[in-house]
Copies of this chain bind each other. A is one copy, B any other.
Amino acid sequence: MSISKNQLKTITSLSQKKYRQKYNLFIAEGVKVVKELLNSSFEVDLLFATDDFETTISSDKIIRISDVELQKISNLKSPNKVLGLFKIPDEKSLQKNGLTIALDKVNDPGNLGTIIRLCDWFGVTQLICSKETVDCYNQKVVQASMGSLTRISIKYLDLENYLKEINLPSFIADMDGENVYKSELPKEAILIMGNEANGVSDAIKKLINNKISIPRFGETQETESLNVATATAILLSEFKRNV
């Protein structure tokens, strides 16, 4: 068997968000990520795999292809046995307990992938994204999240409205905030991380009083601010270390 022209066209189109939404599908590649998706509640649509990819899924869900064909459809530098099309699941309903991370216009897919993985590690089960945040079914996000995507409830919504309505202590990560090491951090809270270049938007800063920062220990003031994924790691660690 091989890949039909139509399938090729679909696969290529899925690099764009509008086609992911149209077909309700996204791409995941490589043995590790695809297997994690197969073992989750995510529903597989179709797998394109070389002969050495072992799986027990029904044969109508898998198309065996050559290494050359895989190379052709893969977006990875080193394609790894399988490219899968999966259905985009319905968003889960909002939870109000525990710690929630909220992202305000985070742009970089690698950063979002890392943050999803961090949520998984630190037991944060809900991630809220402003509508301008990069799509979590962008393939770079899927690959960077390393399967953690299957375990986190991710919701895209109007962040300003959400924060207005939710009745939970909220914290903005901000360079001018209070030293996080000296802040009292509740178990149930929302931690808001901002855009890579501009931080959290002014509209949201007006809404939320609590601002926390990771102090700079180096002597020079020239150090570039911490990357948003790195800052999320440190702040999550602070929220969780005393739980």
Contacts and interface: CB of A to CB of B under 8 A. Distances in A.
Interface stretch (A46-54, A76-84, A129-137, A221-229): A221-229
Contacts of A240: 217
A149 to B, nearest CB: 11
B223 A120 contact: yes
A57 interface: no
A112 to B, nearest CB: 14
Nearest to A217: B123
By Cβ-Cβ distance, the 4 closest A-B pairs, closest first, are A123-B217, A146-B224, A123-B218, A181-B241
Interface residues of A, number: 34
A186 B74 CA distance: 48
A213 to B, nearest CB: 12
26 contacts: A114-B227, A114-B230, A117-B223, A117-B226, A118-B230, A120-B223, A121-B214, A121-B217, A121-B218, A121-B223, A123-B216, A123-B217, A123-B218, A123-B219, A146-B224, A147-B222, A147-B224, A148-B223, A151-B218, A151-B222, A151-B223, A181-B241, A226-B233, A233-B234, A234-B234, A237-B237
